[in-house]
Structure 1
Amino acid sequence: MCSDIENSDDNLLDKVAYTENEAYNLYNNYALQTGFSIRKGKPRYFNGTKNIRQREFLCSKEGFKIDEDPSFIRFTVENDVWRVTAFNPEHNHELALPSERHLLRSGCRISKPKADCYNHVNTKKMSTISARDAQSLLNHFKKRQIEDPMFFYTVQVDQENRMTNFIWRDGRSRVDYDGFGDVVVFDTTYRTNRYNLICALFVGVNHHWQNVIFGCAFLLDETTASFKWLFNSFLDSMGNRSPITIFTDQDQAMSNAIEEVFSNTHHRLCLWHISKNAPSYFGELNSNSEFQSLWNKCQKYCDSELEFQNTWDKMMHKFNFEDHHWLNMMYKIRHKWSTAFTKDSFTVEFKASSRSEITNHVLNNIADTTISLTNFVIKYESVLAGMRSSEFNEDFRCNQGAPQRAVKKSGILGHAAQVYTCKIFKLFEYEFLNSLAIEWKIVDYSQRVRIVHFDHFNSNISCSCKKYESLGILCCHALWVFNLKNLTKIPSQYILKRWTKEAKKGMMAYEQDNHSSSNAKEAEIVWRNSMLGIANTIISKSQGDDSLKSICQKILLGLDEKIERESSKLGSNANLEENEVVEHNTADEMLGLSNHVSILNPPCVRSKGLRKDRLKGHFEKRKAKSSKDASSSRKKFFLLFY
């Protein structure tokens, strides 16, 4: 073996190896340390033989078929010696960060010791579960809070000190919410644990169109009081920033709580549940095509409130529904389910809570009716880690190459490929291709007409279809006008950051003006979480490379010294010490209990025959009201941890 193989000097020219495999490893080791992956080029042979005369290894940058990456190395073989005779270290793309280099294709491998390490860690986690489930769960949460200063949990107990409701989220979920918490899907259709508690998930969608979980909770019952407690706790954990839109099943107790806690949030109902339940109220009209057409149009295909009203009136009069109780009730809440009323608000064009139910299906596969709460939380954390690994892989894929474009020479499509993630680019490209098929022609008013307003001075544009307002991506009608005006870039005001490759950069930055009216404690919590998020991101980027770790440590130590000097000048040391004492108050002190008092397990809720299956929504239940559990009337207290 050649000693030069382990040498990581920047200039590989004239280095030698003695086999093709050694030559590959020489360049691959250099590539992985630098931050790119490699692939083999076509070999050149000695005339009349199968002996290699020259072999190139290239940067395996994907997606740039027009402008090839210039980085390569060429080995020339003489007397079984592979010598580097040409070497170009230049790249036309961003190199992988140290934390991403294990994802490089030519470096993807996992050693047996590392695999054994993963198994050992999981075994250790499972051994932490004790017989007393509730206290074990609290101990796990406290441990997680030590590991993650932004970890949040809060617990409700009854008068007998039994756990009833609780919610938790880690620091990463808070960061995700800051970037993608504009639309939240809330679902309570999952109930699989030994206490038959209701699992409630807060789910969103990230910049790769993937599910992202903001928090998880368990509830003893589905009363307005429980939902109010849960929503207030969730809001408190997220710095009191409400989502723009929240999607839920149709449940009156849930609606009451949302109206009070999320008063400025658009509440939308899951159309899938409505469509599934509606046939039970229509009888033989379920087979009437004209009625079904009008009903479906009211749900999803009206462009305006006026069009909805005209369609609704036609349906009600045509089929004598003036006294129909269910339809009259639905009309009163039409703004929550008809898309005619949602076009001006950002909804990511969701029409159902399927996002959350997909995640519930994943959770259903890791649990059964005998699982303990602590065990569930540990498995939930494993699912969460897998989801985040998928996001990390997609981040890496987007940064490593531009997506394939259907139209190579389009400036505006090329710009979209640069700024959007791969998945969002495909959505944009679909609209762009549709814009090429639009023809300028006179149509009669029985057909769908789109009105586009364009200001060529500032490139402001609006379309009556409202796609940008609801989805954050320009529609084909607007893009048709841009093509007509020869615009080669998407105007900056129409690039929504949450859909871009840069979506997560700087999302934890603290803005003083946003909290000027908040109370002092709330502002301090938001500021602290913001700074922790920034520090955590910087430290994560530094891991895996000694030089980056050294830079990170040097800057942080220098910052500490600077803060210390400025603090001394301001004479604020006393205030800092006082705040630190408050920050470390224990949970037992907040509750007013002595340290030896333990939290007891939740009461077991009587099963209604629903175990592994999803819970039915409000209107799927046969009875209008279910009997309330006796435990729901107990007076509740709560603990708050952050």
Structure 2
Amino acid sequence: MAMIEAGDAQSLMNLFKRKQAEDPMFFYTVQVDQENRMTNFFWRDGRSRIDYDCFGDVVVFDTTYRTNRYNMICAPFVGVNHHWKNVLFGCAFLLDEKTDSFIWLFETFLESMGGQKPKTIFTDQCQAMANGIQNIFPGVCHRLCSWHISQNAARNLGSHYGNQEFNHMFNKCLQGYCETELEFQSIWDDLLAKFNLTGNPWLMTLYNLRAKWCPVFSRHIFTARIKSSQRSESTNNVFHQMSTKTMSLTQFVHHYDKQAEKMRSSELEESFRCNQGLPSRIAKSSGILNHAATVYTRKIFKLFEKEFVDSLAVMMHEVGSDGTIHSFELNEEGHNRVYLVQLNSFNRTISCSCKMFESMGLLCSHALRVLNVKCWSQIPEQYILKRWTKDAKKELEANEHGELLQVNGKSSVTLRRNALMRTTYDVLSKAAETEATTRIAMEKLREMEELIEKEMITSKGEVNQKTSDNVVDCNASGCTFDETPVLNPPCVRPKGISNARLKSAMEKRRKRTSKDTVSSRKTKQSSKIGRPYSSTHTPLSSNFLNPVSVPMSTNISNHVYPTMRLLPTEGHANLPQPNLSFTGMLQSTNFMALLNKVFIESGISLILTEFLVENCCKKH
């Protein structure tokens, strides 16, 4: 795609505008400095919002990637889906790694996800990032990525890190092979003494952060027990392949979209395979194993099956019972470690001292051993975590299919719109995979349109009244902007990884004068980055060039900036929708026109939602 005259930044802005016209759930926010140069920006599409609603309990956030044209920091938000594969929640580019930049980004990310915080976030060992998390995500478990710690250990510990015995002891602490805090402390002390590292400053700093990286300190918190090292390493490879020395920001977004599409196609294929029958099972006569094969995806079932097989080698004996609550001690053959399991036969609850269910969401081999001995043929319902099941993405929010969220006693146009978009987004993504399913969806959409038009005629008076109650005239609010183009980001060289080749000493001397000029310019504007003039000021959004409204919010506030006109934004149901097809889903079907007819009336919204679920999904 050709770059327009205003440059890469303005080309990126125009790309985001087109995406927003095509995808009503698309969200983006851009910061500029006083010279109208782009400094930070974040974007995510509608599918990422849906994925976050389903799998946003654990987020891996990484800042080790660069694009070399501007040396901006690429910061993707990554999660893990019900097939144990990476899923993209969004991406940002930052000018620097300062606390203010991370606060802005985390505020923006949280806003784009309707205020829903993750349970756990994995990052690298950056104090500015930690400050931002503490400020914006209080109460969220902050874990340090083991992959980054391993990389830093290799740089800071020299020859020690190549020692086999040292690596064994260090990784035992790092990877969570310690079962108790006392065991961790014992191994750590032995490590320092054996290799004479008691005063090592890097290890001292790492030890002070032990609650953030050693799993033994957070077993009670859900982390999906993901190997954050694997998530970061695989994503690292993807982003380094995408980023080349001369790649522009717009080109990167296009490559990001292609990678996201590959990941989503892989997910659809895996979901299809999951629905073709039960996976092979090591013991087909086991009721619990058959139940697990029915509810879990293939990959998660294999993880569950491994625990089931391991349970066969677990020795147990009951140490107490009052008729309802039974206590057991268990140990694995060849190991002395004892695990405590407690079973309540009345309310069908079970707990284990290993805390696997709390951290992973799957029953451990110790709990399964007890259930098998007690002849339980099914997994108790409360121990089937929906995010791991085949139905993880169905019925995203119960209210959206039933009550259709109420605000101030009225059903909100904005909330109904989001409810419809979430349901239809996934359905139509599946429908677009083949010509046959596309024809089915188009046929059903035409049928829905007839039903909706009949309902609108029946309730015409009520619809008109609700329309007048919900629509705000944006023009009357003074929402106008100039057409001043957004300028390219200043070229800076922040710390971290870069794909650029290392320069020779002569090349560095030649570049010194130009670098000094850039540094001077950066100093002049650094205090103004992200603070454009605004006629209205709010703590959260006043520094947004394009402050997209919170997806699940019903409050529409107009942020006016003299440098840019107001753009159509997600959540602004009052703005007219473009006459564009729902790109990437149903080509040649103007799906948005159909949705526009149903946003304003809750009864029609329910008709559409139920019709889609009953007809399109089951045909796929």
Aligned to 1:569: 462
Tell me the CA shift for residue 394 of structure 1. 0.6
Secondary structure, counterpart of 2:30 in structure 1: strand
In structure 1, distance between residues paired with 2:67 and 2:431? 40
In structure 2, distance between residues paired with 1:254 and 1:267? 10
In structure 1, distance between residues paired with 2:288 and 2:501? 45
Structure 1 pair 144–279 and aligned structure 2 pair: CA distance change class (3 A): closer
Secondary structure, counterpart of 2:471 in structure 1: helix
Q: Is 2:136 the partner of 1:261?
A: yes
Mapping 1:402-417, distance limit 5 Å: 402-417=278-293
Aligned to 1:480: 369
Aligned to 1:25: none
Q: Which of 124, 129, 134 is the aligned partner of 2:9?
A: 134
Is the 2:32–2:40 contact (alpha carbons within 8 Å) kept by the matching residues of 1?
Answer: yes
Tell me the CA shift for residue 340 of structure 1. 1.0
Aligned to 2:442: 549
Q: Is 2:246 the partner of 1:359?
A: no
Deviation by residue 1:515-554 (Cα, 9 ceiling, x = unmatched): 88x9999x87565423311233444566645555344433
Deviates more, 1:169-178 or 1:338-347: 338-347
Tell me the CA shift for residue 422 of structure 1. 0.8
Is the 2:106–2:136 contact (alpha carbons within 8 Å) kept by the matching residues of 1?
Answer: yes
Deviation by residue 1:576-631 (Cα, 9 ceiling, x = unmatched): 232xx34x999xx76x641x21111111124779532799xxxxxxxxxxx99635
Which amino acid is the alignment partner of residue 273 of structure 2?
A: R
Is the 1:184–1:202 contact (alpha carbons within 8 Å) kept by the matching residues of 2?
Answer: yes
Secondary structure, counterpart of 2:121 in structure 1: strand
Which amino acid is the alignment partner of residue 71 of structure 2?
A: N
What count of residue pairs does the alignment treat as equivalent?
498
Aligned to 2:527: 633
In structure 2, distance between residues paired with 1:130 and 1:500? 49
Aligned to 1:343: 219
Give TM-score, length-normalised by structure 2.
0.72
Aligned to 1:381: 257
Mapping 1:165-314, distance limit 5 Å: 165-278=40-153, 294-299=169-174, 300-312=176-188
Q: Is 2:490 the partner of 1:603?
A: yes
Which amino acid is the alignment partner of residue 271 of structure 1?
A: S
Tell me the CA shift for residue 448 of structure 1. 1.4
Aligned to 2:600: none
Secondary structure, counterpart of 2:114 in structure 1: coil
Is the 1:192–1:364 contact (alpha carbons within 8 Å) kept by the matching residues of 2?
Answer: no
Is the 1:161–1:600 contact (alpha carbons within 8 Å) kept by the matching residues of 2?
Answer: yes
Tell me the CA shift for residue 272 of structure 1. 2.3
Is the 1:248–1:353 contact (alpha carbons within 8 Å) kept by the matching residues of 2?
Answer: no
In structure 2, distance between residues paired with 1:614 and 1:203? 27
Q: Is 2:394 the partner of 1:505?
A: yes
Aligned to 2:35: 160
Aligned to 2:324: none
Give TM-score, length-normalised by structure 1.
0.70
Secondary structure, counterpart of 1:439 in structure 2: strand
In structure 2, distance between residues paired with 1:305 and 1:297? 12
Deviation by residue 1:98-125 (Cα, 9 ceiling, x = unmatched): xxxxxxxxxxxxxxxxxxxxxxxxxxxx
Aligned to 2:356: 467
In structure 2, distance between residues paired with 1:248 and 1:514? 36
Which amino acid is the alignment partner of residue 94 of structure 2?
A: L
Tell me the CA shift for residue 564 of structure 1. 7.0
Tell me the CA shift for residue 127 of structure 1. 4.8
Tell me the CA shift for residue 213 of structure 1. 0.3
Aligned to 1:529: 418
Deviation by residue 1:359-386 (Cα, 9 ceiling, x = unmatched): 2322322331111111111121111111
In structure 2, distance between residues paired with 1:288 and 1:193? 36
Which amino acid is the alignment partner of residue 120 of structure 2?
A: T
In structure 2, distance between residues paired with 1:602 and 1:420? 46
Deviation by residue 1:217-253 (Cα, 9 ceiling, x = unmatched): 1111111111111111111000010111000000001
C-alpha RMSD of matched pairs (Å): 3.6
Deviation by residue 1:118-165 (Cα, 9 ceiling, x = unmatched): xxxxxxxx3576662111111111111111100000000000001111
In structure 1, distance between residues paired with 2:501 and 2:298? 33
In structure 2, distance between residues paired with 1:542 and 1:189? 37
Aligned to 1:424: 300
Aligned to 1:6: none
In structure 2, distance between residues paired with 1:614 and 1:424? 42
Secondary structure, counterpart of 2:62 in structure 1: strand
**Greater gyration radius:** 1
Deviation by residue 1:66-124 (Cα, 9 ceiling, x = unmatched): xxxxxxxxxxxxxxxxxxxxxxxxxxxxxxxxxxxxxxxxxxxxxxxxxxxxxxxxxxx
Is the 1:510–1:531 contact (alpha carbons within 8 Å) kept by the matching residues of 2?
Answer: no
Deviation by residue 1:177-203 (Cα, 9 ceiling, x = unmatched): 000111000001111241111111000
Is the 1:202–1:356 contact (alpha carbons within 8 Å) kept by the matching residues of 2?
Answer: no
Is the 1:204–1:211 contact (alpha carbons within 8 Å) kept by the matching residues of 2?
Answer: yes
Aligned to 1:117: none
Tell me the CA shift for residue 279 of structure 1. 5.4
Tell me the CA shift for residue 505 of structure 1. 0.5
Which amino acid is the alignment partner of residue 159 of structure 1?
A: Q
Tell me the CA shift for residue 286 of structure 1. 5.2
Structure 1 pair 287–218 and aligned structure 2 pair: CA distance change class (3 A): closer
Tell me the CA shift for residue 568 of structure 1. 3.0
Q: Which of 344, 348, 356 is the aligned partner of 1:455?
A: 344
Structure 1 pair 478–443 and aligned structure 2 pair: CA distance change class (3 A): closer
Is the 2:405–2:416 contact (alpha carbons within 8 Å) kept by the matching residues of 1?
Answer: no
Is the 1:509–1:531 contact (alpha carbons within 8 Å) kept by the matching residues of 2?
Answer: no
Which amino acid is the alignment partner of residue 492 of structure 2?
A: V
Tell me the CA shift for residue 558 of structure 1. 2.9
In structure 2, distance between residues paired with 1:430 and 1:329? 37
In structure 1, distance between residues paired with 2:335 and 2:298? 37
Which amino acid is the alignment partner of residue 398 of structure 1?
A: C
Secondary structure, counterpart of 1:477 in structure 2: helix
Q: Report the identity percentage.
A: 51
Deviates more, 1:153-162 or 1:486-495: 486-495
Secondary structure, counterpart of 1:453 in structure 2: strand
Which amino acid is the alignment partner of residue 598 of structure 1?
A: P
Tell me the CA shift for residue 482 of structure 1. 1.3
Secondary structure, counterpart of 1:479 in structure 2: helix
Unmatched runs of 5 consecutive residues or more in structure 2 = 318-329, 503-518, 533-543, 549-569, 571-620
Structure 1 pair 449–381 and aligned structure 2 pair: CA distance change class (3 A): same
Structure 1 pair 540–381 and aligned structure 2 pair: CA distance change class (3 A): closer
Aligned to 2:607: none
Secondary structure, counterpart of 1:204 in structure 2: strand
In structure 2, distance between residues paired with 1:342 and 1:634? 39
Deviation by residue 1:272-330 (Cα, 9 ceiling, x = unmatched): 22233235555676577776655444332222334434544565677776655434433
In structure 1, distance between residues paired with 2:403 and 2:425? 24
Structure 1 pair 367–542 and aligned structure 2 pair: CA distance change class (3 A): closer
Which amino acid is the alignment partner of residue 465 of structure 1?
A: C
Aligned to 1:371: 247
